[in-house]
Structure 1
Amino acid sequence: MTAGLPGWWEPLLTRVSTARSEDFTPIRPPSSGGRASAVLVLMGEERPGEPDLLILQRAATMRTHAGQPAFPGGAADPEDRDPAATALREAQEEVGLDPATATVLTTLPELYIPVSRFVVTPVLAWWHAPHPVWPCQPAEVARVARLPIAELVDPANRLRVRHPSGWVGDAFQVQGMLVWGFTAGVISTLLDMAGWSVPWDPGRVLGLEGLDILPPRGSDPATAAPTASDEVVS
């Protein structure tokens, strides 16, 4: 369904229609096993021609993923008919999203997170009727924000982070949040596919040591360790 979509959706929709998991990560999903899950990549606009992206921030008191920004999402339930149903259900539970206000456009390739053994399907959707959202589960979600694409592509807000394991990946410092890991990787790839990215300094690297966040265990695929969380963050 593309009728009535803002023009900024292209060329992103065309590009993701042929995307492969390798476009997002060198880590291939396992041939079997893994925990089926989905995240909602929900894009809307508060003003015409100014797209934004819905992000939540995990509560600082969580045992895993404390304080990390992420897409709404989590593990699939047996009654979920497909990844879109999982993503919309999780967004409704976490931030109060009315599923009727979001038009699912496509799903992205399955992506594997070794640390949690999640096989994640990102679900790309158009928020055609935005409404107020909020942390519905304060014990798990501390904040909900709409991050303007203009701020995400601003070179002043882009950097890379270095995990204590030695892993280095893209990150964004936006609206008081440090977005990194799986979430930042997906965002970075989508910005490139949409043609929105502008040159930035990849030599700006921030160490995660000492920051007021809890890095997930085993973020390095070579030392990955499973967690009991149902939330998709890495």
Structure 2
Amino acid sequence: MDFGPDHPGQNIDLRPQRAPRWMRRLINGVDGVYHHRDVRSVDARGRTTPRPADQSAAVLMLFSGADHLQADPPEDAAVLLTHRSPSMRSHSGQIAFPGGRIDPTDLSPVDAALREAWEETGLDRTTVTPVATLEPVHIRASGYPVHPVLGHWHTPGEVGVASPAEADDVFPAYLSDLADPRNRLMVGWAGWTGPAFTINDYLVWGFTAGLLSGLLHQAGWERPWDRETTLDLQDTLAKSRNDEPRYSEPDNRVRFLR
């Protein structure tokens, strides 16, 4: 696909007042997302050596869905996700939010998240309203701080695979599917357990699933689901189309949790 140019430094101010009504409960309580147990399960603060600020990253949690009079999301409300290329050196085959390392030229985590989304998916940043940022989450395996940026895609446009070396699939995950108890599960490996989702035959787990679970809860979109049964992560991944490496292999342990 032939996408237009990015506009670095533009559209980076947070404008929560322009969010649709169905996102406002989430935005008003966004500070509580970090403290949800599923986000804390993927945060390494206090468990690994903190990394310097120049090794931080940002991700864009981009929600689409028109504004309407109700407080509940519209039927087509969705969040944009990517499938990281199985050939990547780290976090290969995982489902992720668009995002990556904050560059010295980025003016803020919002600027970095929008730039990375453009590089990976061709997203036009002028079609996005940045509405909130979350407290940084430190990746469990590395300690790297990741700044989650919450945005509303007020004018959805064309996106797709803009950088095949980074992501080989870009797709909307509908909130109705994410909240469906049939698509929710707990997975565990090597003493760790956390929430997961099944979407489009992919398994969403780790950092991305923890944030999604916290967001669903804080926004009031969560439905009761089975948190008591924990499935083996390796077996569950083998049944998915993620094409992730086996995390029991020593070389892959450091890439465990994205």
Q: Normalized against structure 1, the TM-score is what?
A: 0.86
Alignment match of 1:177 (pick from 191, 195, 202): 202
Alignment match of 2:25 (pick from 2, 11, 29): 11
Q: How does 1:53-202 map to 2 (within 5 A)?
A: 53-163=79-189, 165-202=190-227
Taking a change above 3 Å as real, the CA distance of residues 145 and 105 of structure 1, as seen in their structure-2 partners, is same
- Verify the 8 A CA contact 1:41 1:122 in the aligned structure 2: yes
- Verify the 8 A CA contact 1:21 1:28 in the aligned structure 2: no
**What code does the residue aligned with 2:60 have?**
L
- Verify the 8 A CA contact 2:62 2:152 in the aligned structure 1: yes
Aligned to 2:57: 37
- Verify the 8 A CA contact 2:45 2:143 in the aligned structure 1: no
**SS at 2:217 equivalent:** helix
How many residues were matched structurally?
223
| Unpaired runs of at least 5, structure 2 | 1-14, 69-73
| Unpaired runs of at least 5, structure 1 | 219-223, 228-232
Q: Normalized against structure 2, the TM-score is what?
A: 0.78
More strand as a share of residues: 1
- Verify the 8 A CA contact 1:65 1:216 in the aligned structure 2: no
**What code does the residue aligned with 1:214 have?**
P
**SS at 1:22 equivalent:** coil
- Verify the 8 A CA contact 1:64 1:214 in the aligned structure 2: no
Q: Identity, % of aligned pairs?
A: 39
| 1:20 CA displacement | 6.7
* Structure 1: distance between partners of 2:137 and 2:87: 27
More helix as a share of residues: 2
- Verify the 8 A CA contact 1:162 1:208 in the aligned structure 2: yes
Q: Deviations over 1:113-170 (max 9, x none)?
A: 132331011000010110121111112211001011000000000001112x121100
* Structure 1: distance between partners of 2:232 and 2:67: 36
**SS at 1:159 equivalent:** strand
**SS at 1:93 equivalent:** helix
Q: Deviations over 1:77-133 (max 9, x none)?
A: 000111001100000000000011111111101111132331011000010110121
| 1:60 CA displacement | 1.8
CA RMSD of aligned residues (A): 2.5
| 1:205 CA displacement | 2.5
| 1:19 CA displacement | 3.0
* Structure 1: distance between partners of 2:233 and 2:88: 18
| 1:217 CA displacement | 8.3
Taking a change above 3 Å as real, the CA distance of residues 176 and 47 of structure 1, as seen in their structure-2 partners, is farther
**What code does the residue aligned with 1:42 have?**
L
